[in-house]
């Protein structure tokens, strides 16, 4: 990882959310602040890389839209980059809003990257403490960019620098004001990059420091991750791109494995969305290229 920039996956995710907010209709998830965290030069560079890489993604599309970079970018973004970041964020924040109504006082964003929840929802500044956990390099980049665009940090936002994929430090959280209160965790776009032992250990640690009723939303890849090609080879491309970016995908799960892993940590599955269900909820009746990824599931689990 480049020490002066966020992880590649977090940056590409933010790009996908920014593109969707500006150019797609109807909106699955409107992250209208994501574009502010990406400079015009960075946006152009990503666009250029994606357009130039169209031969990697799909040679037929490259030929069909030859000389039309905007349509190529739309295809790459809607087919490959945006679907999972958009739908999982929409699902997560829907669950979070409901959990807040049920008394959640703390929100912990694991692998926060360039998350913008606190800026899009200033109404929670006095009622919800938000803890963003990520690598030091990612957080330094984010704080510097927020300063550049004159975004003031709300008093309820706390940055916790940690490589939780290697070891989780509850003390680092407590040092930032975390308390034993009803808590909601999000772990989006992370589980694939952990070994099964690392994911199990992380969830164990998280739920050892919070009371009953605390919960987590995360996405995970099913057992077809390394076999399924997907539309235009997009699943296989996702795996290849992650490895090429220095962040290889390591794990996939059956539903029974996930259920057992969570039960071991004292959690019950409250809701599970399969790829078909995700497509029906978030991508139905669209007239563009957006559709749910074939191997990705969403899950909400609650501590008993």
Of the candidates 46, 3, 18, the residue with the CA atom closest to the CA atom of residue 141: 3
The partner residues of 260 in beta bridges, in order of sequence, read none
Q: Indicate the DSSP class of residue 211.
A: -
Nearest residue to 170 via CA among 112, 108, 128: 108
Residue in this structure with the two tokens 């004001």, named with its chain if needed: 177
- What residues contact 57, with CB distance under 8 A and at least 6 apart? 75, 76, 79, 80, 232, 233, 234, 237
Per-residue model confidence as pLDDT tens digits over 60-116? 999 999 999 999 999 999 999 999 999 999 999 999 999 999 999 999 999 999 999
pLDDT at 5: 62
- Does 294 score more than 60 pLDDT? yes
- pLDDT value at position 165? 82
Is the omega angle on the peptide bond into residue 26 within 30 degrees of 0, that is, cis? yes
DSSP state letter for 159: E
Average pLDDT, the chain: 95
pLDDT of residue 1: 46
Asked if 156 contacts 118 with a C-beta cutoff of 8 angstroms, the reply is yes
Domain boundaries, the chain: 83-303
3-state DSSP of 23-63: HCCCCCCCCCCHHHHCCHHHHHHHHHHHHHCHHHHCHHHHH
Architecture of domain 83-303: 3-Layer(aba) Sandwich (3.40)
Phi, psi of 194 (to 5 degrees): -105, 150
Residues in the chain: 304
Q: In terms of pTM, does the model score above 0.85?
A: yes
Specify the pLDDT at position 235: 97
For the segment 209-236, what is each residue's pLDDT rounded down to a tens digit?
999 999 999 999 999 999 999 999 999 9
Q: What pLDDT does 144 receive? A: 94
| pLDDT over threshold 50, residue 154 | yes
Residue 246 predicted with pLDDT over 60: yes
Q: Is the pLDDT of residue 143 over 70?
A: yes
């Amino acid at each position: 990882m480049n020490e002066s920039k966020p992880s590649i996956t977090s940056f590409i995710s933010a790009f996908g959310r920014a593109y969707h907010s500006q150019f797609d209709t109807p909106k699955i998830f409107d992250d209208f602040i994501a574009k502010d965290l990406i400079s015009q030069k960075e946006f152009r560079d990503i666009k250029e890389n994606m357009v130039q890489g169209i031969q990697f993604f799909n040679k037929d599309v490259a030929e069909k839209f030859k000389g039309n970079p905007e349509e190529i970018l739309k295809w790459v973004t809607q087919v490959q980059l945006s679907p999972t970041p958009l739908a999982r964020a929409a699902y997560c924040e829907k669950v979070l809003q409901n959990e807040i109504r049920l008394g959640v006082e703390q929100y912990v964003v694991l692998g926060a990257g360039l998350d913008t929840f606190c800026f899009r929802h200033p109404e929670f500044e006095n009622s919800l403490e938000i803890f963003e956990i990520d690598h030091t390099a990612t957080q330094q980049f984010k704080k510097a960019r927020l300063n550049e665009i004159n975004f003031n940090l709300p008093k309820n936002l706390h940055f916790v620098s940690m490589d939780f994929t290697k070891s989780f430090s509850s003390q680092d959280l407590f040092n930032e004001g975390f308390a034993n209160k009803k808590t909601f965790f999000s772990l989006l776009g992370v589980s694939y990059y952990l070994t099964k032992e690392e994911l199990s250990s992380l969830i164990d640690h998280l739920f050892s420091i919070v009371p009953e009723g605390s919960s987590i939303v995360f996405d995970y890849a099913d057992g077809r991750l390394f076999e399924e090609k997907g539309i235009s080879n997009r699943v296989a491309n996702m795996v290849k791109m992650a490895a090429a970016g220095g962040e290889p995908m390591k794990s996939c799960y059956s539903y029974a494995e996930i259920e057992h892993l969570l039960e071991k940590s004292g959690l019950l599955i409250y809701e599970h969305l399969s790829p078909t269900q995700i497509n029906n909820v978030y991508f139905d009746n669209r007239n563009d290229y957006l559709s749910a990824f074939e191997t990705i599931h969403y899950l909400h689990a609650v501590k008993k």
